[in-house]
Amino acid sequence: MSTIAPAPVHVVEAESTPTPKRRRRRGRVRWGMWITLAVIAFFGFAPAYWLLRTSLTPDHLVFQFPPSLLPSEITFDHYATVFGNPEIFGYLRNSIIVSVITAVLSVVVSMYMGFAFSKYRFGGRKSLMYFVLSSQMFPQALLLVTLYLVFAQFGLLNTYLALILSFTTFTLPLCVWMLKGFFDALPDDLIEAARIDGASPWRIFHSVILPLAAPGLVAAGLFAFVRGWNDFIFALTLAGPDRQTLPPGLVNTFISEASTSWPALMAASLIVSVPVCIAFILLQRFLVGGITAGAVKG
């Protein structure tokens, strides 16, 4: 009578428990990470906190020594001063007009350029790509005199158009490269399938590619918007008092040769930062997707 040999039994060794030395090493790494994050958070939020603190501090306590982290007195008079100044709302209107048009124009131009650089092959393509990128190597202030003379020759000084053209000029290179990287991540099979279905190149781009490129378009538009919103030197030089945006407008309003109202300036700066912060909060999902999508080829 034959016997059946028993099946081999595989013994799984239990995972060895971490030694005290390993636990201490993991604890030090964890504490190091938390300390690093705390330092980064401090450098990120300390200026914003001091901005808020100064805006709530009465004038006679702004320069007290030693300074205190919490104001001994709180006042909202500086915010009332900002909201009661009609010039601030004029600067706000100018900033919105210039920033929105700059963002739209930058996205419209860069999406066509980025798609052409990504999906089409033509003579001088790489040279032209690096030529567009090389424009970022020149300091923007270096071109201010040239732009001033050109705009003065064409009668464009003290107009919205001068600010929009100058801002768009400097935002286009980065927007083009950002969208090119996004278009590179889109597979060419989508374009080939649309061509087989009889779609024209214009239809392929607007009906197939652009809906997929929405995160990249939002990221490029947000970058251009912030560029137009934060600019100081071009808005101060190329625009007159009626067309100046918030950065130079706030400086001219609260800083003079005789005195400087730092608390009111801090209150105004805090107020005008709110729209940009809200835009980042609402569009951060698209912003992160648009910036990182081009880093990985699809």
The reply to whether 5 falls in a domain is: no
Based on the number of CB atoms within 10 Å of its own CB, is 180 exposed (0-12), middle (13-18) or buried (19 or more)? buried
Q: Are 208 and 263 in the same domain?
A: yes
Alpha helices for the chain (secondary structure H): 20-55, 77-83, 86-119, 125-134, 144-153, 160-185, 188-196, 201-203, 210-212, 214-230, 233-238, 246-254, 262-293
User: Residue 6 has what pLDDT?
Assistant: 53
Q: Are 113 and 218 in the same domain?
A: yes
Structure tokens that stand for 249 in this block: 């407008």
Structure tokens that stand for 178 in this block: 């950002």
Q: Are 51 and 145 in the same domain?
A: no
The reply to whether 7 falls in a domain is: no
The reply to whether 251 falls in a domain is: yes
User: Residue 192 has what pLDDT?
Assistant: 87
Q: Rounded to an integer, what distance in angstroms lies between the CA atom of residue 162 and that of residue 152?
A: 10
Q: Are 36 and 148 in the same domain?
A: no
Q: Are 46 and 111 in the same domain?
A: no
Residues β-bridged to residue 255: 260
The reply to whether 112 falls in a domain is: yes
User: Residue 14 has what pLDDT?
Assistant: 46
Q: Are 43 and 112 in the same domain?
A: no
Domain boundaries, position 38: 22-61
CATH number at residue 133: 1.10.3720.10
User: Residue 124 has what pLDDT?
Assistant: 80
User: Residue 295 has what pLDDT?
Assistant: 46
Q: Are 41 and 97 in the same domain?
A: no
Three-class secondary structure of residue 13 per DSSP? coil
Mean pLDDT by 10 residues, the chain (298 residues): 51 56 78 87 84 85 79 85 87 92 93 88 82 78 86 90 90 88 85 86 87 86 88 88 88 79 86 80 67 48
